Amino acid sequence: MTRTPPMTRTSRTTRTSRTTTWKNARRRGLTTLAGAAALALGLSLSACSGSGGKKAEENPVAGGAGTERMTIAMVTHSGPGDTFWDIVQKGARAAAAKSNVEFLYSADPDGGKQAQLVQAAIDKKVDGIIVTFAKPDALKDVVARATAAKIPVVSINSGADVSADYGAIAHFGQDETIAGEAAGRELAAIGSKRALCVIHEQGNVGLEDRCAGAKKTFGGQMENLFVPGTNMPQVKSAITAKLQADEDVDGILTLGAPFAATAVDAVKETGGRAKVATFDMNKDLIALLKAGSIQFAVDQQPYLQGYAAVDELWLLKTNGNVIGGGRPVLTGPAIVTKDNAGAIEQFANRGTR
């Protein structure tokens, strides 16, 4: 754990918001500590395989050395080039490397095509599948086919509310409604009264839950703005047009780090006064946070999501473990501001936060 600077009025507000958020999570019966436990376990396993080769051979469960090779497929709704999912992959590949796992990755934003990729993994007879339920109805049947084939499924990032019902043994991510509520409180705390929640993928239930949660706790007026997320010039044009049409907008909440930087450019171009905040992190965001160009980021720790999901499938096969006892394991939300951005800067710079 890194130390944060002494608490200012802003940091006390943030701390209060954070505390309330975690209390809400506990009331829902979600597991909040298991994510940290999974990371600690993963680190200890890595240490065993790196420095205790003989012990690992004598006790295969202690590390990847000496264990049977297994294959795990991850199929998500967003792929390479997306900074968030690049971090998820890094975590998954790190866990795979230390546990003698062949890791296969594929992605498609179209729910039907994502289902086809899951079916392809089933046909390959992989040992485990990791999915995202951003568009859950599209994956329900194919996940059922995976479980019928006795291939364990883990979900990450999206769909905590349907994960168990659809047959996944575990889910790793943040509760998007709770995270949205935390973001709404933060926006109110920085003085915003009229805000935009920028949704870059229509039909993604996780993104919609974030905006709904933020609207619930914001206290002011919040409007959803749908933008074409794969085309940043068009995203900028959409935000710019909205700011020009409504000069009273004083807050912008984006749902991904690249969109936050684009929103900052749009505010500068229009000479507006809107303060920008966002969900999710990447290394470029740290500089914007430290400069005060972005007010805060809601971090759900994507590296941990990928790492824990691979670890869960490996632990299930080698030791019969289920992390979280069948309930969602929360990896966020954590609020990152100008005050504490420096504490994780080194991790963001290496692409793991």
Task: Characterize 232-257 residue by residue with b for buried, 16 or more Cβ atoms within 10 angstroms of its Cβ, and e for exposed.
Answer: beebbebbbebbeeeeebbbbbbbbb
Same domain, 136 and 52: yes
pTM for this prediction: 0.79
The closest alpha carbon to 247, from 205, 196, 185, belongs to 196
Same domain, 99 and 152: yes
> In the structure, what pLDDT confidence band is assigned to residue 78 with cuts at 50, 70 and 90?
confident
Domain containing residue 247: CATH number: 3.40.50.2300
Q: What is the mean pLDDT of residues 89-99?
A: 97
Residue 27 lies in a domain: no
| pLDDT for residue 42 is more than 50 | no
Q: What percent of the chain has pLDDT over 70?
A: 80
Same domain, 127 and 240: no
Residue 2 lies in a domain: no
> In the structure, what pLDDT confidence band is assigned to residue 79 with cuts at 50, 70 and 90?
low
Same domain, 122 and 270: no
- What pLDDT score does 83 carry? 87
Question: Which is higher by pLDDT, 59 or 318?
Answer: 318
Q: What would the pLDDT profile of 178-195 be if each residue is shown by its tens digit?
A: 999 999 999 999 999 999
Mean model confidence pLDDT for the chain: 85
Same domain, 40 and 160: yes
- What pLDDT score does 183 carry? 98
Q: Which domain holds residue 153?
A: 34-60+68-174+301-322
Same domain, 277 and 196: yes
Same domain, 98 and 145: yes
| pLDDT for residue 25 is more than 70 | no
Same domain, 183 and 288: yes
Residue 230 lies in a domain: yes
Same domain, 139 and 218: no
| pLDDT for residue 142 is more than 70 | yes
Q: What would the pLDDT profile of 266-319 be if each residue is shown by its tens digit?
A: 999 999 999 999 999 999 999 999 999 999 999 999 999 999 999 999 999 999
Residue 41 region, left (φ>0) first, then alpha (ψ -120 to 50), else beta?
alpha
Surface-to-core class of residue 292, CB atoms within 10 Å of its CB (0-12 exposed, 13-18 middle, 19+ buried) = exposed
Q: How many domains does the chain have?
A: 2
Under 8 Å between Cβ of 293 and 284? no
Q: What is the mean pLDDT of residues 99-105?
A: 97
Residue 199 lies in a domain: yes
> In the structure, what pLDDT confidence band is assigned to residue 324 with cuts at 50, 70 and 90?
very high
- Supply 148's token pair: 């019928």
Q: What would the pLDDT profile of 242-251 be if each residue is shown by its tens digit?
A: 999 999 999 9
- What pLDDT score does 169 carry? 97
Angle between helical axes of 257-270 and 232-245 (0-180°, round to 10): 50
- What pLDDT score does 59 carry? 47
Rounded to whole angstroms, how far apart are CA atoms 252 and 333? Answer: 19
- What pLDDT score does 230 carry? 79
Residue 336 lies in a domain: no
Residue 331 lies in a domain: no
Under 8 Å between Cβ of 136 and 159? yes
Residue 16 lies in a domain: no
| pLDDT for residue 12 is more than 70 | no
Q: What would the pLDDT profile of 119-135 be if each residue is shown by its tens digit?
A: 999 999 999 999 999 99
Q: What percent of the chain has pLDDT over 90?
A: 76
Q: What is the mean pLDDT of residues 77-93?
A: 88
Same domain, 131 and 238: no
- Supply 19's token pair: 């505390």
Same domain, 213 and 273: yes
Angle between helical axes of 205-218 and 176-189 (0-180°, round to 10): 40
Residue 26 lies in a domain: no
Q: What is the mean pLDDT of residues 324-343?
A: 94
| pLDDT for residue 5 is more than 50 | no
- What pLDDT score does 13 carry? 39
DSSP string, 264-331: HHHHHHHT---EEEEES--HHHHHHHHHTSEEEEEE--HHHHHHHHHHHHHHHHHH---TTTTSPEE-
Question: Which is higher by pLDDT, 7 or 241?
Answer: 241
Same domain, 183 and 132: no
Question: Which is higher by pLDDT, 168 or 4?
Answer: 168
